[in-house]
Amino acid sequence: MTSFFDAVTLQAGYNAALVAIGAGLLGFAAGASGTFLFLRKRALVSDAVAHATLPGVGLAFIMMVALGGDGRNLLGLLAGSAATAWLGLLMIEWITRRTRLAEDAAIGAVLGVFFGVGIVLLTVVQTMSAGRQAGLESFLLGATAGMLREDVIVIAIGGALAVFATWLMRRPLTLVSFDSEYAAALGYDVRRIDLIMMGLVMAVTVIGLKLVGLILIVALLIIPAVTARFWTERSTHVIWIAGALGGTAGYIGAAMSATAPALPTGPIIVLASAALFVISLFFAPRRGVLAAILRHRRFQARVHRRQGLLALAARHPIHEAFTLRLLQSEGLVRRDGVPTPAGLAQAVKVARDESRWKIAREIHQDAGLTGRYDGLTPIEEVFTPDEIAEFDHRLGPPRAVEAK
């Protein structure tokens, strides 16, 4: 625990601190840019982009060795991965635009094929004399152990740039992901903005390759955005909440994985992100499962209360156990089911409300108002006092519910 505390407070060494900061920035950038994908309902495009980076890594390594270089230069490898990821993106776009295949088929095809090509290239690299120690497999699942200081700096700077680019592009991206037709009507080039969005996603993917690995980077783009959606109904807020959630998961995950050898960075970051998701799924204030259950219970209570009071007013016996319990707890009926004076008063009020609604629906012309009758809404919330007086005039004066 102390080592975890050390890592979180950046005391666990210079490299670990840089990795944690880099992961935090990357998580923020991924969460924020992933939001646009999620709102545009194209979350899984990022999975294809991520898998399409693999052939680029292999090709870049082979080319750098052929040119007499080291082959393990992180910038070179990342540039290669960006090139094939972009190619993959264009292929998806081309397939969906030019053929009758749907986008999901295009995504799956690009994902599977590019990954296959990547694996072929990796086996080629392994047979090269310079390739035996290349460690390119670490791009599959990410590896922070044994990372060079330059690599860490590349990741930290890249993460910061991605955050900046997201901030710069937030307005057009929000507009397009929220309502692309409106954006097109305003004269924005939706296709180009879509490509910018994908470019941002690609940048995040490429920067995250070494840290999280290409199989799991998609989680950083999707999970924070989905999580943030639970907490707000405003698109501008989703972006920054997703960024914050992603940043937290990245930072905590990287710090945690620095504390023990068998805690791989990528999976830990993803699991931290998933934990935040599960918490939000259940406990988010409006859209969470708990909130939905409570809302349902409240609605149920309102329906039972109303129906119970109507039964009292009509002098019908109540048999339903939940209604009886509800009315008893409010002191509206006695334990034997006989209404108390307060219960009778409430019953008269509810019965009169119901009669007023009946008149209103007969004589009022505006279906927008009478359509709000659901057997629950008090009429005072829909009609003005003048109108209600008119209904009362037709209804006659209130009468007491006489005992039989």
- Per CB under 8 A, residues contacting another protein are 38, 41-44, 46-47, 94-95, 97-102, 104-105, 107-109, 111-120, 122-124, 127, 137, 140-141, 215-216, 218-219, 222-223, 225-226, 229-230, 262-264, 266-268, 270-271, 274, 277, 281, 287, 289
Kindly tell me which of 259 and 346 has the beta carbon lying closer to another protein: 259
Between 45 and 347, whose beta carbon lies closer to another protein?
45
> In angstroms, what is the minimal distance from the CB of 278 to another protein?
9
- The CB-of-226 to another protein minimum distance in angstroms stands at 5
For residue 137, the 8-state DSSP code is: T
Smaller CB separation from another protein, 83 or 281:
281
Q: Which of 165, 219 has the CB closer to another protein? A: 219
Q: Residue 157 has which token pair? A: 């700077």
CA distance 132 to 320: 76
Nearest to 47 by CA among 102, 95, 6, 103: 103
Neighbours of 308 (CB within 10 A): 26
Q: Which residues contact 168 (CB under 8 A, 6 or more apart)?
A: none
Q: Indicate if the alpha-carbon torsion angle 261, 262, 265, 271 is positive or negative.
A: negative
Angle between helices 14-39 and 217-229 (to 10 degrees): 60
Specify the residue, 38 or 391, whose C-beta has the smaller distance to another protein: 38
Report the residue number, 277 or 357, with the smaller CB distance to another protein.
277
Radius of gyration of the chain (CA): 31
- Closest contact distance (angstroms) between CB of 284 and another protein is 9
Residue closer to another protein by CB (options 52, 155) is 52
The DSSP code for 380 is G
Output the smallest distance, CB 325 to another protein, in A.
Answer: 29
Query: C-beta of 55: minimal distance to another protein in Å?
Result: 9
Nearest-angstrom CA–CA distance, 83 and 79:
6
CB of 3 to another protein, least distance (A): 17
Query: CA–CA distance from 2 to each of 5, 21, 251, 374 (Å)?
Result: 5, 19, 17, 59
User: CB of residue 337 vs another protein: minimum separation in angstroms?
Assistant: 38
Residues in a beta bridge with 333? 339
| Helix, strand, or coil (residue 339) | strand
Chain centroid to CA 157? 26
Question: CA of 327: how far to CAs of 333, 355, 371, in Å?
Answer: 6, 22, 28
CB of 131 to another protein, least distance (A): 11
| Minimum CB distance to another protein smaller for 111 or for 155 | 111
